[in-house]
Amino acid sequence: MCGIVGYIGKEQAAPILLEGLSRLEYRGYDSAGIAVRENSAPDAKINIVKAKGRLKALLEKTDCGRSVPGLCGIGHTRWATHGEPNDTNSHPHISEDGKIALVHNGIIENYMELRQYLQEKGVHFTSETDSEVVAQLLDHFYKETGSILDALYMVLHR
Ligand code: GLU
C-alpha cells in the first residue's frame, strides 16, 4: 500500500517529506518521489524528484532533501498497479504545464476513458499510470473554469 505525506510551513519541506516517507516504508513500495514548490509566487516552479527502488535512492538524488528547496510539498511511496515501477511512473505526477502536482493511492478504474478524452483534446501524457490522468484532468478543468475547487468537483464526479 502506498504512503502519502504533505507539508506546508516555515521549515524546508523536502527533508520533512523524506522523513515522513521513511516512517511509511513498512507499508511496502517499489519507488518514491517528492514534489516541492520553489516559493509562494503564483508562477513558482514545482520541482519533482523520483527514484525507483528504496528511499535511499531518493535521499541520494536529493542530497537528503537539500537540493530541493521550498516550504511546501508532497511525497509518495508507490506500490505500482498501472505501469511498471520506474522513475517516470513514480509519483508525484504533474500536469502538462507544470502547475498541478499530485500523488495518489489506489486505482482509477475508468482512467483509459479519461485519458482518451484528454488525448483527443491534445493533452500529452508522460507516464503509463492511471494516476496521471487526475493531474491532467484537474489542469484541464481548472483552465476551463478558473476555479481549482470547481475543477476538483468536476474531476471527482468523473
Ligand atoms: N495506481 C497507482 C499507480 O500505479 C497508485 C498505486 C499506489 O497506490 O501506490 O501508480
pLDDT in tens, 57-68: 999 999 999 999
Q: Is 104 touching ligand 1 by the criterion CB < 6 Å?
A: yes
Residue 135 C-alpha to ligand 1 middle, in angstroms? 14
DSSP category for residue 53:
S
What pLDDT score was predicted for residue 144?
A: 96
Residue 1 has pLDDT above 90, yes or no: no
Residue type, 14: A
Beta-strand runs (E) in the chain: 3-8, 31-37, 46-52, 72-78, 93-94, 101-102
| Mean pLDDT, residues 73-86 taken together | 98
Mutation choice for ligand 1 from 131, 133, 134, CB with most ligand atoms inside 8 A = 131
Residue 50 CB less than 6 A away from ligand 1:
no
- Interval 35-76: pLDDT, tens: 999 999 989 999 999 999 999 999 999 999 999 999 999 999
- Residues paired with 102 in a beta bridge: 93
Query: Is 79 near ligand 1, meaning CB less than 6 Å away?
Result: yes
Tell which one of 105, 126, 128 to mutate to probe ligand 1, the residue whose CB is within 8 A of the most ligand atoms. 105
Beta bridge partner(s), residue 35: 48, 74
Q: Which SS3 state, helix, strand or coil, does residue 123 take? A: coil
Query: What pLDDT is attached to residue 76?
Result: 98
Distance 88 CA to ligand 1 centre (A): 13
Q: Please check the confidence at residue 14 and state whether its pLDDT lies above 90.
A: yes
Q: Return left, alpha or beta for 21; rule: phi > 0 is left, psi -120 to 50 is alpha, else beta.
A: alpha
Q: Name the amino acid, one letter, at 118.
A: L
C-alpha distances (whole Å) from 2 to each of 41, 84, 95, 123, 153 are 30, 15, 21, 27, 24
Q: Exposed (0-12), middle (13-18) or buried (19+): which is 72, by Cβ within 10 Å?
A: middle
Q: What is the pLDDT of residues 91-112, one digit of tens each?
A: 999 999 999 999 999 999 999 9
- Residue 91 CA: nearest ligand 1 atom is 10
